Chain A
Amino acid sequence: MTKVSMTVNGRAVSGEVEGRTLLSAFLREGLGLTGTHVGCDTSQCGACVVHVDGKAIKSCTVFAMDVAGAEVRTIEGMANADGSLGTIQQAFQDHHGLQCGFCTPGMVMSAAALLAENPKPSEADVRHYLDGNICRCTGYHNIVKAVLAASGQDVSAVAAE
């Protein structure tokens, strides 16, 4: 076991890990941050997306030791300082962008990364950016709508064409 240290949601943390300990496992089992979910073993479903040094990555496909010293942000770090829902989280609730909630942390983290890169994305931009986040409940309609709304765009006219 080796000691690994990083900053998670603004807090300095450390823990003992093996070489094979994935970042997702370190977060979930080591730190008790179970909001980050694991939904596949081929790096595709995106339920485990977190930010490392500001960039969205799949925490199930990164070793904890490979991101030692990094700034990590998880779904638990997305609310406002007073505990209220952040802008993206609020948009997901307002527009029913989640059902079972399992893919939701990854969706929110990917959406946050998108809006950081592209503050006013088009519908196509949103759909393309969420290519690595699978949802089985929503058919994506309200997720895309929520992300557009979170970017401050008017979604009242969203329909098929």
Chain B
Amino acid sequence: MHNFDFVKPASIADAVKALSSDGAQALSGGQTLLPTMKQRLAAPAVLVSLTGIAEMKGVCRGDGGLHVGAATTHATVAKEAAAHYPALAALAGGIGDPAVRNRGTIGGSIANNDPAACYPAGVLGSGATVVTSKRKIAADDFFQGLFSTALDEGEIVTEVRFPIPEKAAYVKFQQPASRFALTGVFVAKFGTGVRVAVTGAGQGGVFRWTEAEAALSRSFAPGAVDGLSLSGDDMISDLHGSAAYRANLVKVLTGRAVAAAG
């Protein structure tokens, strides 16, 4: 890979300052960024590591529900969120593999917004709030398409605040090679209604399946989505599965997620 200057600030303020320099890029767990840099598809001049910022790490209860620091690893969320938000903990515990989970972070994942990543489904499905170095962004506004988010240049995700639903579950069908989601569905039942977020399937990245939300808000039962049909028109089609196959998976996994949520 191309060389760069490596800096590791200890505070959000210092990180923001470092990111204001030309060609600077944030580095979180690096589990996607490093392979990309090895391919020379990314060549930052300055790499700003966010892993040394204590205020961006940890899981705690707060007024917004469960607050997860953006530099918290998947492994930590899997462990520390388990008592508060088991579905989110289970999602984190199923990302990649153990070594990836010990480095990869929630902030890095959602800032990258890979269309097959798990966390965007959890964040969107929960209706979470993404806190950044300069504002708060609702999940519905945060994810803006493939590898695209509402983040401005130099803006970093510092925390994600999850409202805790009555019931929730994430069911992922693995792409056999990468172990990303070929399709993953996050279902969350709140007092105000049900949210269903789908990753891995949509051409535009993570999306909410509103028909299913309506049906499940009426009746939170696995069979509630049986009568729905999902068009394959906006689904990804690749060598691992056709659009029609993914559309099928969305429906099957939604039913299974509802069953798992109990």
Direct A/B contact, Cβ within 8 angstroms: yes
A residues with CB within 8 A of B:
2, 18-20, 22, 41-44, 46, 49, 52, 55-58, 60-63, 65-66, 68, 110, 113-114, 129, 131-133
B residues with CB within 8 A of A:
1-6, 8, 27, 30-31, 34-35, 37-39, 47, 49, 51, 75, 96-100, 102-103, 178-179
Q: Judging by beta carbons under 8 Å apart, are A19 and B47 in contact?
A: yes
Given contacts A56-B98, A114-B98, A132-B99, contact A61 B31 (CB under 8 A): yes
With both beta carbons as reference points, the residue of chain B lying nearest to A52 in the complex is identified as B102
Q: Judging by beta carbons under 8 Å apart, are B99 and A65 in contact?
A: no
Given contacts A41-B35, A58-B103, A61-B30, contact A20 B1 (CB under 8 A): yes
The one of B3, B4, B103 that contacts A62, using a Cβ cutoff of 8 Å: B103
A–B Cβ pairs within 8 angstroms, 23 of them: A2-B6, A19-B3, A19-B4, A19-B5, A19-B6, A19-B47, A20-B1, A41-B35, A43-B34, A46-B97, A57-B99, A61-B30, A61-B34, A61-B100, A61-B103, A62-B30, A63-B27, A63-B30, A63-B47, A63-B49, A66-B6, A66-B27, A113-B98
Q: Which residues of A lie under 8 Å from residue B27 when comparing CB positions?
A: 63, 66
Q: Judging by beta carbons under 8 Å apart, are A61 and B4 in contact?
A: no
Q: Judging by beta carbons under 8 Å apart, are A63 and B6 in contact?
A: yes
Secondary structure at the A interface, as helix, strand, loop or mixed, is mixed
What is the minimal beta-carbon distance from A6 to any residue of chain B, in angstroms?
Answer: 14
Q: Tell me the bound Cα distance from A46 to B97 in angstroms.
A: 10
Q: Judging by beta carbons under 8 Å apart, are B30 and A110 in contact?
A: no
Q: Which residues of A lie under 8 Å from residue B99 when comparing CB positions?
A: 46, 49, 56-58, 110, 113, 132
With both beta carbons as reference points, the residue of chain B lying nearest to A65 in the complex is identified as B6
Q: Tell me the bound Cα distance from A81 to B179 in angstroms.
A: 38
Given contacts A19-B3, A41-B39, A49-B99, contact A66 B31 (CB under 8 A): no
What is the minimal beta-carbon distance from A38 to any residue of chain B, in angstroms?
Answer: 11
Q: Which residues of A lie under 8 Å from residue B96 when comparing CB positions?
A: 132
Q: Which residues of B lie under 8 Å from residue A66 when comparing CB positions?
A: 6, 8, 27, 30, 49, 51
Given contacts A41-B35, A66-B8, contact A58 B47 (CB under 8 A): no
Q: Tell me the bound Cα distance from A136 to B51 in angstroms.
A: 34
The one of B5, B31, B51, B98 that contacts A43, using a Cβ cutoff of 8 Å: B31
The one of B1, B30, B37, B98 that contacts A132, using a Cβ cutoff of 8 Å: B98
Q: Which residues of A lie under 8 Å from residue B75 when comparing CB positions?
A: 55
The one of B47, B51, B98, B103 that contacts A110, using a Cβ cutoff of 8 Å: B98
With both beta carbons as reference points, the residue of chain A lying nearest to B76 in the complex is identified as A55
Q: Which residues of B lie under 8 Å from residue A63 when comparing CB positions?
A: 6, 27, 30, 34, 47, 49
Given contacts A19-B4, A20-B3, A41-B35, contact A132 B102 (CB under 8 A): no
Q: Judging by beta carbons under 8 Å apart, are B3 and A132 in contact?
A: no
